[in-house]
Amino acid sequence: MRPFSSRSELFDGVLARGAAGGATGDEAWLAALLRTEAALARAQAAVGLMPAGVAATIEDACAQLKPDVATLSADAAASGNPVVPLVAALRRAVPPDVAESVHKAATSQDIMDTAAMLVTRDALAAILADARGAAAAAAALARTYRDSPMPARTLLRQAVPTTFGLKAAGWMLALDEAGSRVAAVRATRLAVQFGGPAGTLGGLDGHGLAVLARLARELGLAEPVLPWHTDRTRIADIASALGGLAGVCAKVGRDITLLAQDEVAEVAEGSPGGSSSMVHKRNPVAAVSAIAAAMRAPGLVASLLAAMAHEHERAAGAWHAEWLPLRDLLVTTGSAAAWLQIGLAELTVDAAMMQSHVDDLADRLGATVDTGESAALVDRALAIHEAAL
């Protein structure tokens, strides 16, 4: 019997919602790798290291090359990364006298890390769009239910009154704050990688720094002070920002599932999920899926942080160890945000039920329903939210 393929997409409908999956898949990676090689040639031509025509030939080859992923992946095993066979393919695709100008003075990690940043930039854009959509949905809830009292619950016990508006404003603000950190990392920490085998910009006739600057401009990435082959603070920053956003998605998802319990019934999802065995079930599938996706994040962040101890000028394992956790973290955080956006946008709120619960609570406390300064808090949170748009 032929062996099964290792392709794994069966769970993606549930666990890889949103555009981050596509932004980090093989096609996106290959496009980013080739785009980097092309930009490198262009940058080197710009500073006089090769004729413009040679760079154009390389750029054409990068645009035309359609490498077979399976072959590339298999060939990568020999050297430890896919850039080695990709460069070989590119060199075969250009005239012999151009071949040596392909990947000139670069090391595999220059291309891989730069491509990772391009891929991450697109994935973060997708994630941010969904996170902002979720925040906007929460903002709408905060506005609509600004004055709708409900019981605050602490340690899962009813405490004293709050409003659903304030709860939703809290969701919104947490999404905004976590999202703004993701946006800041995207804007400032995604840098081009270029240093050559030893990170010294050797073999470039003293034009290395110029190439570095030009390459950054070509690709719209930040220019690093030094090559960062074994300084992985950028990866840590990306990972951490995603971990924070995932944590917020888990929090909001958890709240939704708790409010959607039959016994609480203060909210319901607009498109609840069915069951293979129980026709009556109305499962909060969006929130559940958001939680599931978000729960993968802390372990992935830990993997990326634990992989920061890159040896010398190129790690003996820790660099390769980043590739899949980074992808997985982008995809799963994106899925959490995408599901949450749906869950919040379609949320059905039963303000009467909330009112009834809070009235019962007030009766038990022998007090009137006092929601303190919740309205003013909602207003100031919404003002901050709107100012940031």
What residues act catalytically? 275, 314
Enclosing H/E stretch for 142: helix 108-144
Candidates 240, 346, 359, 362; binder of its own copies (CB under 8 A) is 240
Does 152 sit near its own copies (CB under 8 A)?
Answer: yes
Of residues 48 through 77, those in contact with its own copies by CB under 8 A are 69-70, 72-77
Does 309 sit near its own copies (CB under 8 A)?
Answer: yes
CB 20 within 8 A of CB 127: yes
Q: Where are the alpha helices (DSSP H) in 145-232?
A: 164-188, 208-219
Read off φ and ψ for residue 209, nearest 5 degrees: -65, -35
Size of the site for its own copies (CB under 8 A): 179
Candidates 7, 96, 97, 368; binder of its own copies (CB under 8 A) is 7
CB 307 within 8 A of CB 238: no
Rounded Cα distance, 37 and 59, in Å: 8
Rounded Cα distance, 10 and 30, in Å: 23
Does 11 sit near its own copies (CB under 8 A)?
Answer: yes
Structure tokens that stand for 196 in this block: 């050559």
Tell me the closest approach of the beta carbon of residue 203 to its own copies, in angstroms.
Answer: 7
Does 196 sit near its own copies (CB under 8 A)?
Answer: yes
Does 225 sit near its own copies (CB under 8 A)?
Answer: yes
Of 171, 138, 167, 135, which is closest to residue 150 (Cα–Cα)? 167
Candidates 197, 213, 346, 359; binder of its own copies (CB under 8 A) is 197
Tell me the closest approach of the beta carbon of residue 67 to its own copies, in angstroms.
Answer: 10
Does 107 sit near its own copies (CB under 8 A)?
Answer: yes
Nearer of residues 59 and 176 to its own copies, judged by Cβ:
176
Tell me the closest approach of the beta carbon of residue 287 to its own copies, in angstroms.
Answer: 8
Stretch that binds its own copies, among 38-46, 52-60, 130-138, 193-201 (CB under 8 A): 193-201
CB 91 within 8 A of CB 37: no
Of residues 241 through 280, those in contact with its own copies by CB under 8 A are 241, 243-244, 246-248, 250-251, 253-255, 257-258, 260-264, 271, 273-278, 280
Tell me the closest approach of the beta carbon of residue 246 to its own copies, in angstroms.
Answer: 7
Does 292 sit near its own copies (CB under 8 A)?
Answer: yes
Structure tokens that stand for 72 in this block: 């590339």
Give the gyration radius of the chain's Cα atoms.
25
* Residue owning tokens 């390389």: 58
Helix/strand/coil for 153:
strand
Of residues 22 through 41, those in contact with its own copies by CB under 8 A are 22-31
Tell me the closest approach of the beta carbon of residue 97 to its own copies, in angstroms.
Answer: 19
Does 282 sit near its own copies (CB under 8 A)?
Answer: yes
* Residue owning tokens 């050559």: 196
Rounded Cα distance, 114 and 120, in Å: 10
DSSP string for residues in 335-355? HHHHHHHHHHHT-EE-HHHHH
Of residues 121 through 150, those in contact with its own copies by CB under 8 A are none
